[in-house]
Structures are given as C-alpha cells and as structure tokens.
Structure 1
C-alpha cells in the first residue's frame, strides 16, 4: 500500500513547474501567456500544467518512466496484469478492446444493449456481432443482463466466435453473472471483454458486485471519470486473465494492446487528464473502501426516503433474480416515475428547470441520479424534497403503457457492410422494412435504438416518435430532425 501513495505523473509535473522552464515547444499558449482570456477563465495553474510530452514527463505512446510507473500502480490497484492511461474516454478503451480481440469477419458475442462505441468499433474493424437478447424488465422497461443460458446458447451456435462482451454494470446498475460468463467463455477458448464504464468503484468495496478483473475477464474499459473522481474524458483500459487448465482462451499481450491503442489514440495526451487519473487512482487505492461504502450508505438512505414519498420506486437489490439480474450496483439511484404519471424524461426536465438539480439522464419510465465520491447527504435531501414537490404539483394518473427502452433488433447485415453500402435517405414514416445504415439513439445512455445493418420496424419508429415528443436528445442520425433516415439501397 505504500507504493500506492505515489502519483508519479503528478509529481513529475510539480517538479517541471518549479523549474521555470522557458517553453519553445507546444502548446502555443506558452503557459497561458499567449491566451490571457483563456487563462483568466481556466486559471494560471491549469495553463501551466497543460504541457507537451518531454523527457522528464515521459511519452504516452511509448512510456518508459513516470507514465510507465503510473500504469503499473493502476494495474496493481485494480488487480490487473496491465493498465493503460486513456485520454479519449472509455469510448476509446472500448474500441481498443474490440480491435484487440476481433478482425474483419470475426464474431463477438454481445448483448444488444451495448454503448454505441461497440457498434462503431465493429463498423471500423469489420467484426460481426452475435447479439444476445437481454430482454426488458416488464415494469421498469429497462434492458436486463445476459442470462448465462443465453450466452451458452450463443457460444454453442457460434463456436468460431472470438470473444464475449459484457456490460458490468449497465447504466441502471444491472449486472450479469460475470464470473459464470468468464468461466463459460474461457472453457470454449473465447476471451471476455467488459465495458465497466459504470463500474470503476466495483474494485474498491466488498459490498458491491464483482469487478471484471476479479471475475477473471481478459480486458475491461473503466470510466475513471464517472465514479472515480478524475477529469471528464479520462479512463483506464485494463488487461487481466491468467493461465489455467480451465482457461483455453489465449492470453492477451499487453504489448499488442499498446500497438492497438496507438492506432487511434492521440499522440498529444493531455497531462491534465493523465495527472487526474494518477491522483484519482492514488485516492481510491488508499481510501476507496471508505469512500464507496459511504456512497452506498447515501444511496440506500436516498432509496428509503424516495420510496416513502409514495408513487416513485427507487429500485434496489430486491430485483436480483440470479438470472438476468445476477447482481445490482447499490450506488445507482434509479427512480421509476410512471406511478406519479410522469415519464422519466419529464421528471428529469422538471428537476433541472424548476429545482436546479441536474440528473444523469431520464428515459421513458425512469431517471438516474449518479452517485459517487463527490456527493453529499444534504444534496440528496434536496433531491428528495424536489421529487416530493414534483409529485404534489405535477403528478397525474399513473402511466402504464409506454414503449420499452429496449427493442430486440432484426439484424440483416453487419454494421460495417451497412455503413459502407450504397445508401439513400428515405422519409421517416416510409422507412419500415428498410435496412438502417446509421445508428440512432437517445443520449444518454447512448445505446442505439437502431444500428447499421438492422431492419427498421414500426416499433422502432414508434419509440423514436415518443422520444421526440418527450424531448429526449436523439443523436447519431445524419438528419438530426429525423425527417429522413439513411438506409441501404
């Protein structure tokens, strides 16, 4: 644990700023002097720390000193064989995982409720998704986890698949049986890669679901900025796995992963991002258990208070069924709003516009408060009070019939085939039966309602119409108004 008290990148930056170096390198603002308005806005210290790669500060593409040491400390903290500092968000981490395990024409078994970064990675590399239908919760309308039996069926039907992709957890805190999936996939020679964007904290509390690395996964993409306290856009890519008689999948080479990362990651990594990762890892390694145990306690308190208001339902561990919901992330404060007569997106808007409370997102039936290391009990009390007022002043008769947030797709072409095919734009209402050449989604959470290669159905159009009506932010389509959709000719 003594090693974890180090923050090599941050320490090297401190040393650099104390040396009064004259900069004849980039960036061109030269410690902020060249852009006084930006310096006034961000602060002189921020601008002084915004520097380029140089010998004392190492090089992100080929680390040999302080970045290398910081990555070793991160791997140790998360129980991984190797860790990589990522400055393109978890999107770049997810894409690197896909590029590592599959080439053009090779299959990856994935749940359909994946982030758009997974679909876009397959557009780029030509991998072919084999979708596992996670199904939807009948009351909440949200996608669930993958059942082990469904993963086994996909593996048996696709013995040539290279890997299985897992969300751990989903945006809503739903966890699949990661240990079981890892054991099953490895016994069939398949690697397991995990989107742990919403699970940084899983490595630091025994009260939370198992982390990807602890479960034996081969790779995991971790959004350190979401719940770990680092700056937005910073993330870790972890490499795990271990040789054993049961594991018939090839071990992933960290050196090869570095090559994959360097295909797409910037050569000008921000030292603000890198140092934020370094310092945040240090804090979690030293104090993560107490920090996240406190977050869990706050979330449980908020759940009890919200459920006592009446109407609302703040979901919890009672959902665990050992199948599609193998476990639940207790830090996720998901509030079901339909019993008070309001869609989740409507409650989201009311909280922001009337009460100055910014939630993470709202969908048709739920809204999410994302709790992490920076939250306070008094802020949760303000949220509870606002929800009570919203029910009193804006509540209506319970809503019972809204589109599910998950729609099972009809896949006709691979994402790459559809994206690069000859295409045309057709009227939205005339697109039923056509094959989509683009991704369309509500953001957040960024899970495509429609992905390239999927058949457009009336159910999809109904969902998108309702989303527009309720004010959801719809992204991905070339025509942002959704009057037309790009389809395969």
Structure 2
C-alpha cells in the first residue's frame, strides 16, 4: 500500500470543500452555533467535527476510507489488522482482554498494570493471576516480569487463556517479549501487550522489539502519547491468529457510536507522518533524551537511569526516549519536583511519583526547552534540596488478593475511615494519576503498608483518585458477610 496516502484525511478535505448544507449533528453546524468555541479552536477544526456519513465511512462498520486508513496503519505497524480507537488506549486494553478471556477464565498479568486492565476484569469477570514484577528498591519502581516467574505461573495455572505484558512500562522498562511469546504460544495462550508508551518502537532505530515484531497476538498503542495524533486516539493491533471480526464486536461494546473525526483524521495523518519520517523523528528524540540524561546525571543528586538497569531477568530492555529521573537523593519526592517545575519554572513533565519524575521526549521537543529543564533541575537542587533520610521510595506493594475484582466491585460494601480499614477487603480503587497504576484494587486486603503509603502520597501532593470519597478520608470495604458469601464461589487466584 502507498504510505503517502491518507484516505480519511483526503475524504475529509473533499467534504469540507463541497460546502455541504448541514442538517445533521453536531449542533454547532461547523462552528456557526458556538462562536466562542470556534474562536478558541479555529473554523477549520469545527468544520471537520462531523458525524458519520457515507462519504466519510463509519468506524463501527468501516467499508471505505476508514477501512483503507486502518489497512495502511496495519501495514505500517507490521500487524495483520488494525482498529482505530477513539476512547483512548483504555478502550483498546479493555477490548484486548475481553476478546481473550471470558467470565471465570484466567489471565496472567503483572499487578502494576494500568487501571484499564483491572476495569476489563470487572467488566468481563475474568480471573487475574498476578505475577509480581521485579522491584528496584533504590529507584522505588516496579520492573518487568522475569521468565522464571512467568514459567512458574504458567505451570501452576495451565488453564490460563492469555498473558498481558506492560511493554514498556511508564518508566521505560521492557520485558523479554520474544521469549514470553514463545512460551505462551507453546501453551496455546494468547499474548496481549499494553504498548501504550511504545509507538516509537515500530519506527526508531535501536529500539526495544515491538509487540508485533515479537509475534504478539494483540497490542494497544497510544498513538497520541509519542506518535503525534490527538489526545484520546489510539490503535489496537492484531496478529494473524486473532478472530478480527470478533474483536471488532468486542470493541463496539465500549467504543462510542459517535466517533470524533478529528481524532480519526489525526490517526490517519500521524500514521502517514511516522511511515515517511518516523526513523528521523525518533532518532532525533532519542539523541535529545540521551543528551539530557547525561547532563542531568552530571548535576549530582539526580539519577536519570537507562540501559544500565538491564539484567536480562526482569529488565530485558530499556526505552531511552523515557527521561526517567530519580529525585530521592536530593530529599524531594518526585511529585514535589513535579510541582516546583510547573509552578516555579513553567515546565510540565509527564508525572511525578514518590521518588521519580518522567519527562517524555518525542517529535515536538526542542533542544532549547531541554536546556530549560536541565537548568531548572539544577536550580531546584540548589534551592530546595534537603536531607533524604526520611524518604519513602516505593511505588509497588505486593497485593493480598482475596476476591476477583468483579465480585469485590459489585459486592455489598460499607464506608469506613481509611486509617481504620486495616484487614478489610477493598471494594474500590485507590491510585495516583498519572500513571494510573492502582495502589489498591477491589478484592485486595488493606494493610498497614497500604494505609501508610496513601497517607504519605497525600502529604507529598500526589493526586489520588478512584474512591467515591473524593477526599480519600473514607474507603468502601466489603461487609464481612459479603466477603464470606463470595468466597464460597471463588476458586482462588
């Protein structure tokens, strides 16, 4: 196929030039009905915000230009089939899981998954078999999954239908995808990859292996994160051994029937751009990240980690475009540095946790702005550094799983002060966003460590969410009677 083409974009341009009279939705009628919005976004943008129609195809049943655009994307990413997703990579992750496992069926996955994966378990009723990732205690981060641990759980759960892998993690950590795929396929298991942060793996040089190149069955790819499309636009890639028609039906369970053509066209154009220029784009991004990493490490007190973490066990590769920076040696939590950068220096990084910050380096970054980040970090160390002896560095707590997420989420629950909830089973989520990895999920036992972690994270300024109580002073826990009744029907994890 001709990667110079952008069929959906070209159809949209023709539609705009045809000056069609609008008696359909949306109600702003090309921007005429909302002048302030039109002034904010621009007339061309509002005129491209349209509803599904024959000339522009329909995302839920593509037969023309969307179908062609998806085929071009599949070819560009080395997939057998590609689906455009406009409900974010959350919807792509959920579609993968719900396509692979049904109620009562087991799926292997690391516990440091994005909340979208746990939500898929609540929706589907599938049973999680958690594999603990490795932990780097100095950095306070979860690593990848080791082959030894995966083999053990595959042997302990020979009836598992699928395995989900984070690759890369938010911090840039990669597992041994090729070996995992071989192991899983030898046991007739599907391999699903949450590749939200790995768009560039398909186009850059000397990158970790991509999911499709490793032979995975499905991969969710956040094109908007590093691929240049609009926020909320994503891809679901499928291999040749997947029933694509069934996957399309599963997608339609959660994806909107009113797909945004702004998002769809952005996927079409981002794919074209990456196909034609991706290698140069990501080589430059990588050079910029490596320069920043070297300069930041020379400041002292910070640790911008990289490939030196590779141990071929739970760290098989590293994404060097992820500028992950540990801040614990200057006595500041990552979230504190995150806040100072934004409030005092006008610099917005991707996130800060209790020990690290992450700066995403991609196509739109420039050397001048990278120098601003380096200079700001130097100033923050000089002005704000303190004794690091009381730092709490950990972003992963091994869960005590009592019930499946679905049974706990829909169980009979009651409110309880979180500082008095030790020993109870959580009926809801607690997570910091970003990165959106749950500290606590429905069905897990609440421990002193979790309570202390939540209190410390709140004190440092982390944005905690997931609970009905928006102040996170109370938490929904399962009634003891409900827990007993549910356990009677639970075969164990």
* Alignment partner of 1:452 is 2:452: no
Cα deviation, residue 91, structure 1? 0.2
Contact 1:338 1:399 in 2 (8 A): no
1:212 aligns to 2:211 (yes or no): yes
**Which position in structure 1 is the counterpart of 2:116?**
117
Shift of 1:395: 1.0
Q: For residues 269 and 468 of structure 1, what CA distance do their matches in structure 2 show?
A: 37
Residue in 2 that maps onto 1:134:
133
Distance 1:403 1:334 in 2: 15
CA RMSD in angstroms comes to 0.8
What's the counterpart of residue 271 of structure 1?
Answer: 261
1:85 aligned partner: 84
Match of 1:367 among 328, 352, 357: 357
Equivalent of residue 453 in structure 2, options 453, 456, 463: 463
Counterpart Cα distance in 2 of 1:295 and 1:53? 36
- Show the counterpart of 1:395: 385
* Residue aligned with 1:221, SS: strand
TM-score normalised by the chain length of structure 1 = 0.97
After superposition, what is the alpha-carbon deviation per residue over 1:200-230, rounded to whole angstroms, capped at 9, x for unaligned?
A: 1101123110000000000000000000000
Q: How far 1:135 sits from its partner (Å)? A: 2.8
For 1:44 and 1:379, the matched residues in 2 are separated by 30
The yes-or-no answer on 1:72 pairing with 2:62 is no
Q: Which stretch shows the higher mean deviation, 316-325 or 400-409?
A: 400-409
Q: Distance in 2 between matches of 1:173 and 1:399?
A: 27
Please report how far the alpha carbon of residue 397 of structure 1 lies from its aligned counterpart in structure 2 after TM superposition.
Answer: 2.1
Q: Name the count of aligned residue pairs.
A: 479
Q: Distance in 1 between matches of 2:406 and 2:134?
A: 25
Counterpart Cα distance in 2 of 1:397 and 1:427: 32
**Other-structure match for 1:305:** 295
Residue aligned with 1:60, SS: coil
Contact 2:429 2:438 in 1 (8 A): yes
Partner SS for 2:388: coil
Map 1:3-18 → 2, pairs under 5 A? 3-18=2-17
Contact 1:178 1:215 in 2 (8 A): yes
Alignment-derived partner of residue 52 in structure 2 = 53
Whole-Å separation in 2 of the counterparts to 1:20 and 1:203:
38
**Alpha-carbon displacement from aligned partner over 1:63-109 (angstroms, at most 9, x marks no partner):** 00000000000000000000000000000000000110001000100
Taking the aligned partners of 1:299 and 1:35, their CA distance within structure 2 comes to 42
The answer (yes or no) to whether the contact 1:75–1:238 under 8 Å persists in 2 is yes
Paired residues for 1:165-184 under 5 Å: 165-184=164-183
- 2:491 is equivalent to residue 487 of structure 1: no
Q: How does 1:67-466 map to 2 (within 5 A)?
A: 67-241=66-240, 251-399=241-389, 401-466=391-456
- 1:399 Cα shift? 4.0
TM-score (norm 2): 0.96
In structure 2, the partner of 1:246 is none
SS across alignment from 2:357:
strand
The offset of 1:483, in angstroms, is 1.4
Runs (5+) with no aligned partner, structure 2: 480-493
* TM-superposed deviation, 1:398: 3.0
**Could you tell me whether the CA contact under 8 Å between 1:347 and 1:362 is conserved in 2?**
yes
Partner of 2:489: none
- Asked whether 1:472 is paired with 2:455, we answer no
CA distance in 2, matches of 1:401, 1:23: 60
- Work out whether residues 439 and 449 of structure 1, in 8 Å CA contact, stay in contact via their aligned partners in 2: yes
**Residues in 2 aligned to 1:370 and 1:446: alpha-carbon distance in whole angstroms:** 16
